[in-house]
Structure 1
Amino acid sequence: MANPALQIAGLASSILGWIGTIAVTVMPQWRVTAFTPTSANLVTAQDFWEGIWMQCVFQMTGQQQCKMYDSLLSLSPDMQAARGLMCVACAMGFFALIITVVGMQCTHCVENERTKAYIAISGGVMFLTTALLLLIPICWTANAIIRDFYDPTLGQERKRELGAALYIGWASAFCLVAGGALLTCSCPPKDTYQPVRSAHPLSQPKMTVQPRRTVTSPSYSMREFV
């Protein structure tokens, strides 16, 4: 039998991870860099933010300008794959949330307890799949940033650092894994069959007594032996 407290804790952790997944998808701080231009005409420090949908320039004076990417093909392969995987992860988390709520022990959408347990397990597996879809673009982008940062052939203006969106993505993936693991612990109840016995004497099966047969030995007369 599933523990309702574990299911509620798993659902809360999964919802937190799903909200973090949506936040990571729309945040532009995937790749960030901060430097001070050395030119005499430019004396304002700037931060460059690059996300999967837009690129922003944040100045220390408080001005911020964001621009959507003109073409998808102009992005790096990791950023192109991140768009599709993050959208699929957000949709997967939404359907996993609906399925999990249907299979919760505290809801009455389904009356059969065994069926509800299987539905909750399915929701937990979908949350684990969402965490995998989230980790792939996050780790891929982080690997590309670290590789380019230590590449001596790239100029300083092209090097980027890990943004806040990547750290939020790792934390969201951890919440999704923890929530999915708790939901998959919703084991279905075992089918136990015990025959019902009544104490009333009339309800007991009647036993038929077979009549006792008497064996008679044959009688012999003395004349037969003479």
Structure 2
Amino acid sequence: MASMALQLLGFFLGLLGFAGTVVATVLPHWRSTAYMGSNVITATAYMKGLWMECVWHSTGVYQCELYRSLLALPSDLQAARALMVLSCVTSILACVASVMGMKCTRFARQSSVKSPLALSGGVCFLCAGLLCLVTVSWTTNDVIMEFYNPFLPSGMKYEIGLAVYLGYASASISLIGGMVLCWSSTGDRSQSPLLLQRSQPPSSPPALNNIYPPAPMYRPAEALKDNRTPSLCSLASSGYRLNNYV
């Protein structure tokens, strides 16, 4: 029962991390405009994401534009796209494997395949969390290096956006969920030989044929009628005896 609760906890943590990873991938708030001057009142703010670039006006209007060319993007942005998409796909595979491998589902019940499936789901959640963590860490390093670059104009410097912080949180939750799933599945695999040994039926008693001799074959009463001695009252007619039909 405790392992089932741990599996459910790990699965829901991994699912929550997957949802956060998807939101962080779609949002454009990966880089936001850095306000370095004394005048903090600005009319516009610029934000850059993995798929689009947005402009926020002081009137509350958002204007976003998708990147038109994939090959024209810098290499770090292309790599970040690929890693985040791969993290989402790995999380989907982890959800499918975890649902099939958990004890509360009916798939392959009473089978030895469930624990390896749950373990593979936990490993996939760990891989998804690591991919997301690598992407947001890489982006954070690029933003910090560009911010402290003295040769870069102040208007081209950005700060870390909210989507990066969401990516850190999602990666941490996915890693925790994957570790919980792996821990619960490893405990089930270590206990399975003992359960199989206890569930084996006891050995059958020795056969009695070797102790007692076999009983004589049964012969019906009709086969023994002709062996008895006919009585004086028996009647014979045309060579047939009446006692054969009685």
Bin of the TM-score, shorter chain as denominator length: 0.7 to 0.9
TM norm structure 2: 0.75
Instruction: Give 1:48 shift.
Output: 0.6
**Partners of 1:184 and 1:95 in 2: how far apart?**
15
**Structure 2 partner of 1:177:** 175
Equivalent residues in 2 for 1:63-212 (5 A)? 63-185=61-183, 186-187=185-186, 188=189, 189-192=191-194, 193=197, 196=202, 203-204=205-206
Q: What secondary structure sits across from 1:56 in the alignment?
A: strand
CA RMSD of aligned residues (A): 2.3
TM norm structure 1: 0.81
**Structure 1 partner of 2:17:** 17
**Partners of 2:35 and 2:50 in 1: how far apart?**
22
Counterpart AA for 1:75: L
Counterpart AA for 2:134: I
Instruction: Give 1:37 shift.
Output: 9.3
Are the counterparts in 2 of residues 149 and 160 from structure 1 also a CA contact under 8 Å? yes
Give the 4+ runs in structure 1 shifted more than 6 A: 205-208
* Unmatched 5+ stretches in structure 2: 212-246
**Structure 2 partner of 1:223:** none
Aligned length: 200
1:92-133: CA deviation from partner (whole Å, max 9, x where unpaired): 111110110000100111123431011000000001111111
Q: What secondary structure sits across from 1:112 in the alignment?
A: coil
Q: What secondary structure sits across from 1:6 in the alignment?
A: helix
Counterpart AA for 2:193: D
Are the counterparts in 2 of residues 35 and 47 from structure 1 also a CA contact under 8 Å? no
Task: Decide which structure has greater helix share.
Answer: 2
* Unmatched 5+ stretches in structure 1: 209-226
**Structure 2 partner of 1:215:** none
Counterpart AA for 2:202: V
